[in-house]
Amino acid sequence: MAIMRTSRRLRQERSTDDVTPGQYSVLAVLDRQGPLTPRELAAFEKVQPPSMTRTVAALADLGLVGRTEHPTDGRQVLVSLTPEGQVVVRETRRRRDAWLARRLAELTPAERETLAAAAALLHRVAQS
């Protein structure tokens, strides 16, 4: 429950209210992976391709992603971040990092060590 609450609280730290958490997740995938097809994005986000098509359209309307022809498959398009989309990702990450750094600074050194050990265990559990 604590992990879910922390995650939910972190998601509140964002650079714009125009982008939903799901849309931000797509922006973050594009930032990490580079240009992808809507089908590839849908696979990353574990949603159906029609849902991703709607998400991409909304992000394109906001000017945060662009669409270009696929270099080898004329039936496909590639979705990529625009400079404005890159700003949203960078600023949201900066805000989230700052929030978490402030919260961690409130802990004692012993509490931070305990948290680091728990994080390592959670990482192992999540990979199982």
**CATH architecture entry for 2-127:** Orthogonal Bundle (1.10)
Confidence grade of residue 64 (pLDDT, cut at 50, 70, 90): very high
- Would you say residue 128 has pLDDT above 90? no
| Predicted confidence (pLDDT) per residue in 95-123, tens digit | 999 999 999 999 999 999 999 999 999 99
At 67 the pLDDT is 96
| Predicted confidence (pLDDT) per residue in 29-54, tens digit | 999 999 999 999 999 999 999 999 99
Better pLDDT: 14 or 28: 28
17-36 burial code (b ≥16 CB/10 A, e <16): eebeeebbbbbbbbbeeebb
At 44 the pLDDT is 94
The count of other CB atoms within 10 Å of the CB of residue 88 is 25
Share of the chain above pLDDT 70, in %: 100
For residue 65, CA distances in Å to 30, 73, 118 come to: 9, 20, 37
Question: For the chain, what is the radius of gyration of the CA atoms?
Answer: 17
- Would you say residue 15 has pLDDT above 90? no
**Cβ proximity of 63 and 84 under 8 Å:** yes
